Structure 1
Amino acid sequence: MTIKFDGNPLSLVGEQVKVGDVAPDFTATNNDLKDVYFKDTKGVRIILTVPSIDTPVCDLETRTFNSKATSIPNVSIYTISMDLPFAQSRWCAAHGIKNVTTLSDYKDRLVGKNYGTYIKELGLLTRAAFVVDSTNKIVYVEYLDEITEQPNYNAILKAASEAK
């Protein structure tokens, strides 16, 4: 799949997922440098991949989901980037992020590989959103064609609120 960054084409590595697929497992690193296994998460989950939490669009996206998270009970939201856990922790503390869990794919790049979000030329994750129901079925997928654009917040939140 080809995406764009400021209009310039880039290549994604890995297998893109689609609605109806079983969500691929992955391991990512939390802000305490501990491994988080997707298979150990439960309930409805929103998984957001972003290039870097400390850039304007990624910042806005994560803060928007942080503020809207409380409107949907029993939904967990994860923002995943290649940023080091130290940087993610610092950013979350500076912006009062309490309702979104940030994870880093820096070590194994399994999110990028398993969800087809790894940008070959940049070594970052593309902007994408996935909603996974409590049976681990993917019920919403959005790969943005242009990674500087924002995702469809309303569609993501609607899919999460309708998921079981």
Structure 2
Amino acid sequence: MAQERTGVATLGGNPITLIGPELKVGDIAPDFRINKDLVTEAGLSDYAGKVKLISVVPSLDTDVCDAQTRRFNEEAAKLGDNVVVLTVSVDLPFAQSRFCSVAGIDKVETLTDYKHRSFGEAYGVLIKELQLEMRSIFIIDADDTIRYVEYLSEMTDHPNYEAAISALKQLV
């Protein structure tokens, strides 16, 4: 049975339970199986040799998630070919695709954990009560070592964009 963490996160001030471990800087990034679309899956090895910024959002159809994805899309254009920016949610692939086309998101790759919840459990962001994923940021170097982690304690808060971008630029 997966580890459950309580007392670490809220939604609108109400406690929620996160499933999975709390990862820390210096940990080796766990592998995962996640979907690019309804049938095509990906894992950490698909991004081997690249610096990875993984932006986790509960749903692209909310204001903070929209802003977070747009911000990292803008930054991704400035980072070069050795960096991949991934946005992970449990939104269906159709919703992710629609969001990206409407919002002009073209530098961020969206991945969905709707089928297996493998990413959410491996990275400790799966919300037990909602089966969504908690807002968080992970920066993983080209050797798959975690170099930056931000787990937000309140789902509706914005991440620290400047700290994440600064940590990412140190790796490129």
Which of residues 143, 151, 154 is equivalent to 2:151?
A: 143
| Residue 40 (structure 1) aligns with | 46
Task: Give me the whole-angstrom Cα distance separating, in 1, the residues matched to 2:127 and 2:53.
Answer: 21
Contact 1:31–1:102, Cα closer than 8 Å, also in 2: no
Please say if residues 44 and 132 of structure 1, whose CA atoms lie closer than 8 Å, have aligned partners that are also in contact: yes
1:29 paired residue number = 35
> What is aligned with 1:78?
86
Paired amino acid for 1:49: V
1:61 aligns to what? 68
CA RMSD in angstroms comes to 1.1
Q: What does 1:71-110 correspond to in 2, within 5 Å?
A: 71-73=78-80, 74-110=82-118
Alpha-carbon distance, 1:71 to partner: 2.1
Deviation at 1:70, TM superposition (A): 1.8
Taking the aligned partners of 1:60 and 1:95, their CA distance within structure 2 comes to: 10
Structure 2: any 5+ residue segments left out of the alignment?
Answer: none
> What's the TM-score, normalizing by structure 1?
0.96
Q: Distance in 1 between matches of 2:32 and 2:152?
A: 21
In 2, Cα distance between equivalents of 1:154 and 1:111: 24
Quote the sequence identity (%): 46
Moved more, 34-43 or 79-88: 34-43
Note the residue ranges of structure 1 that are not aligned, 5 or more in a row.
none
Q: What's 2:128 paired with?
A: 120
Aligned residue pairs, count: 164
How far, CA to CA, are the matches of 1:61 and 1:31 in structure 2? 21
How many Å separate the matches in 2 of 1:119 and 1:143? 12
Question: Secondary structure of 2:77's partner?
Answer: helix
- What is the CA distance between 1:10 and its match in structure 2? 0.5
1:58 maps to a residue whose letter is C
Q: Where has structure 1 moved over 3 Å in runs of 4 or more?
A: none
